[in-house]
A and B are shown apart, each in its own frame.
Chain A
Amino acid sequence: MPADTVSVTGWGRTAPTTARLIRPRTYEEAAAAVRDCGARGGIPRGLGRAYGDAAQNAGGTVFDMTGLDRIHAIDADGGTVLCDAGVSLHRLMEVLLPLGWFVPVTPGTRYVTVGGAIGADIHGKNHHVSGSFSRHVLSLELLTADGEIRTAGRGTPLFDATTGGMGLTGVILTATVQLQPVETSLMSVDTERARDLDDLMARLTATDDHYRYSVAWIDLLARGAATGRAVLTRGDHAPLESLRDGTRARRTPLAFRPSQLPPAPAFLPEGLLSRRTVGWFNELWYRKAPRARTGELQKLSAFFHPLDGVPHWNRVYGRGGFVQYQFVVGHGQEDALRRIVRRISEHRCPSFLAVLKRFGDADPGWLSFPVPGWTLALDIPANLPGLGAFLDVLDEEVAAAGGRVYLAKDSRLRPELLAAMYPRLDDFRALRAELDPRGVFRSDLSRRLTL
């Protein structure tokens, strides 16, 4: 099989390392690649949207799974799909929307693979209602270190280690996923502003349950009384009768028409996103949002994946790249959340489009990120002076509140904190030691955090 030696980074474009990239086109090729991947092991990679080093493997092999991208079977009545793990959510939407089905969970980008969605156990704006992606996975087939293919059903240790397992239990080959029925490809969206963090949390707590999808964009550069001011956008799939007769939308209610701008140029100077420019952007974003608006019809892509409209948007951070920091703290830890938001605001992190969300019940994945509570995600340019030490302080605060950071976004966590954040870590390590005694599956993430 041809292999290229390439430099690999995550979406944040920090910490590049070199690996042999192999793109299997059949399950047999994938099994052969796993069996012959050499002393430094291998790790599956999808579309490279994990921000940190989860899908890189210095000196070893990276399996590019996007070559295995067939949709095998769709049950259009029961709403399930059986597909290869290399299929993207974008592809699933193209195929399934005309049939009246939507993916059960989508993150902020539809350019992730099904395998990546399971490996990171991703969540979306509907987590408080629908849980994480793995809740909708009925079964999966896993290529393990011995080169064998195993079926993992719900409730088995292998399933729970694999969902959220960051690709370290094996290569997911196929998955059967339960879908969400929809009548249209539009969203009915309510928008409102919250004047500060307390107002925001109160609104989310009071009325989140009325909506299937809910998220708040929060201005982390606002200070003083406005600290934590936010724009809430919440909604659900628009029912057919909400579309006006005679419109194109009504005639073709299930058409999938994402809009796309030209990609960001390959070379952009660093420092485009400074405190000043991001401050202006955030001010504008907050001001342009209506105080309260209900029932606005939006495209799926505008509601779920606004950044997908600009391919390679990660380039705007320049050569230095950026760090995404996402943590969750449980209900009852609102004070910790307030302290962290105040710290970020005082530190003047130039972070645009930071997102706050209320999580619902957790799913059983051992390293699955979501737990009931509050999650905050923010992007920060990696060249911000003192950022490493500042995020370490936030980690301590998060860990002390019983919270955790999201491994799919991590590129810098202090390894000592991991066990406190993920109590099932020892079970995960034990299962890996048994299933993969030679340590075939390894990534830069697993080396850095000794997963």
Chain B
Amino acid sequence: MKDAFGIPQSLLVLGGTSEIALATARRLIARRTRTVWLAGRPSPTLERSAADLRALGADVQTVAFDALDPESHETVLGKVFAEGDVDMVLLAFGILGDQAHDERDPVAAVRVAQTNYTGAVSAGLIAARALQTQGHGSLVVLSSVAGERARRANFIYGSSKAGLDTFAQGLGDALHGTGVHVMVVRPGFVRSKMTTGLPEAPLATTPEAVATAIELGLRRRSETVWVPGVLRVVMSALRHVPRGVFRRLPVQ
């Protein structure tokens, strides 16, 4: 169960090698979280992530999970929920792709969309139903500011996050009153292995800062969290900038 401050005792991470997810898990373990499930494609990195969290005192297990195989999601997630209540599901898997390459390789572009969007639709719906049955819990969805307004430099990734974001918002409304809380997290540019080598965008942040914002959002039962918070205002303005002007902005 979550405590008065919204901190979960058990956590399921979908995308168990995500740096943001692991930073969040570390933060929550320091407070109350004792049981952690890391779901992801089996790999030494996944096992290493689990070992790191175990060293902090949590009971950590890994689960084989592939976003690109939605048929398997029911079975995989069903097994986790059968072991006991999951107080928080962190939907953190996603790939950035390589925009320039993917524009020439539509199959690779579709893989970005399938991982970030359709994979999340399937996993999100299954997790939501399980949370609804237990009558409590938070589904925290890692979206991105990239989904808020299309940018020349990453619109394939951005469009997948736009789909995910809209899906998660609607899911949150659908689950309103069921005891399940859906929180959409929209970080800006996060310095992590996913963005290594990319030119840094303004208002760049870190996985730790996103984790802090998630902990605060849990306590407040927020529905939307921007990291850093000022992005709420910035993006709200950018959303209304005319296309012709937006194309010439340096944020492209």
Residues of A that sit less than 8 Å from B by CB: 5, 7, 12, 14-19, 40, 52-53, 57-60, 320-321, 323, 382-383, 387-389, 411-412, 414-415, 444, 447-448
Is A323 within 8 A of B4, CB to CB?
yes
- Measured CB to CB, the closest approach of chain A to B209, in angstroms, equals 16
Is B135 within 8 A of A383, CB to CB?
no
Is A59 within 8 A of B136, CB to CB?
yes
Is B177 within 8 A of A7, CB to CB?
yes
- Measured CB to CB, the closest approach of chain A to B92, in angstroms, equals 23
Is A448 within 8 A of B9, CB to CB?
yes
Q: CA–CA, A389 to B6, complex, Å?
A: 13
Contact of A382 (CB < 8 Å), options: B2, B5, B133, B180: B5
Q: CA–CA, A16 to B178, complex, Å?
A: 10
**Binary A-proximity of B1-13 (CB < 8 A = 1, otherwise 0):** 1111111010000
Once A60-B135, A388-B31, A444-B136 are accepted as A-B contacts, the answer to whether A18 and B5 lie under 8 Å apart by CB is: no
Is B177 within 8 A of A15, CB to CB?
no
Report A-chain residues with C-beta under 8 Å of the C-beta of B32: 388, 414
Is B135 within 8 A of A412, CB to CB?
no
A-B contact pairs, 13 of them (CB 8 A): A12-B4, A14-B5, A15-B2, A15-B6, A17-B135, A53-B1, A58-B1, A58-B136, A59-B136, A383-B220, A444-B136, A448-B3, A448-B9
Report B-chain residues with C-beta under 8 Å of the C-beta of A18: 135-136, 177-180
Q: Which residue of A lies closest to B181 (CB)?
A: A16
**Binary A-proximity of B72-105 (CB < 8 A = 1, otherwise 0):** 0000000000000100000000000000000000
Report A-chain residues with C-beta under 8 Å of the C-beta of B31: 388-389
Is A59 within 8 A of B133, CB to CB?
yes
Residues of B that sit less than 8 Å from A by CB: 1-7, 9, 31-32, 85, 133-136, 177-180, 219-220
Report A-chain residues with C-beta under 8 Å of the C-beta of B178: 5, 18
Contact of B4 (CB < 8 Å), options: A5, A57, A60, A411: A411
Q: CA–CA, A273 to B49, complex, Å?
A: 42
Q: Which residue of B lies closest to A60 (CB)?
A: B135
Q: CA–CA, A26 to B65, complex, Å?
A: 50
- Measured CB to CB, the closest approach of chain A to B26, in angstroms, equals 15
Once A444-B136, A447-B85 are accepted as A-B contacts, the answer to whether A17 and B3 lie under 8 Å apart by CB is: no
Report A-chain residues with C-beta under 8 Å of the C-beta of B1: 15, 17, 53, 58, 444, 447-448
Is B9 within 8 A of A15, CB to CB?
no
- Measured CB to CB, the closest approach of chain B to A155, in angstroms, equals 34
Report B-chain residues with C-beta under 8 Å of the C-beta of A320: 219-220
Report B-chain residues with C-beta under 8 Å of the C-beta of A382: 4-5, 219
Is B220 within 8 A of A59, CB to CB?
no
Report B-chain residues with C-beta under 8 Å of the C-beta of A387: 5
Report B-chain residues with C-beta under 8 Å of the C-beta of A389: 31
Q: CA–CA, A193 to B148, complex, Å?
A: 60
Contact of A321 (CB < 8 Å), options: B4, B85, B136, B179: B4
Contact of A16 (CB < 8 Å), options: B9, B134, B179: B179
9 closest pairs, A vs B, by CB? A59-B135, A18-B179, A58-B135, A58-B136, A411-B4, A14-B4, A448-B1, A17-B136, A412-B3
Is A17 within 8 A of B5, CB to CB?
no
Once A382-B4, A388-B31 are accepted as A-B contacts, the answer to whether A40 and B135 lie under 8 Å apart by CB is: yes
Q: Which residue of A lies closest to B131 (CB)?
A: A59
Is B85 within 8 A of A15, CB to CB?
no
- Measured CB to CB, the closest approach of chain B to A121, in angstroms, equals 22
Report B-chain residues with C-beta under 8 Å of the C-beta of A388: 3-5, 7, 31-32
Is A383 within 8 A of B219, CB to CB?
yes
Q: Which residue of A lies closest to B179 (CB)?
A: A18
Q: CA–CA, A11 to B110, complex, Å?
A: 50
- Measured CB to CB, the closest approach of chain A to B6, in angstroms, equals 7
- Measured CB to CB, the closest approach of chain B to A408, in angstroms, equals 14
- Measured CB to CB, the closest approach of chain A to B182, in angstroms, equals 14
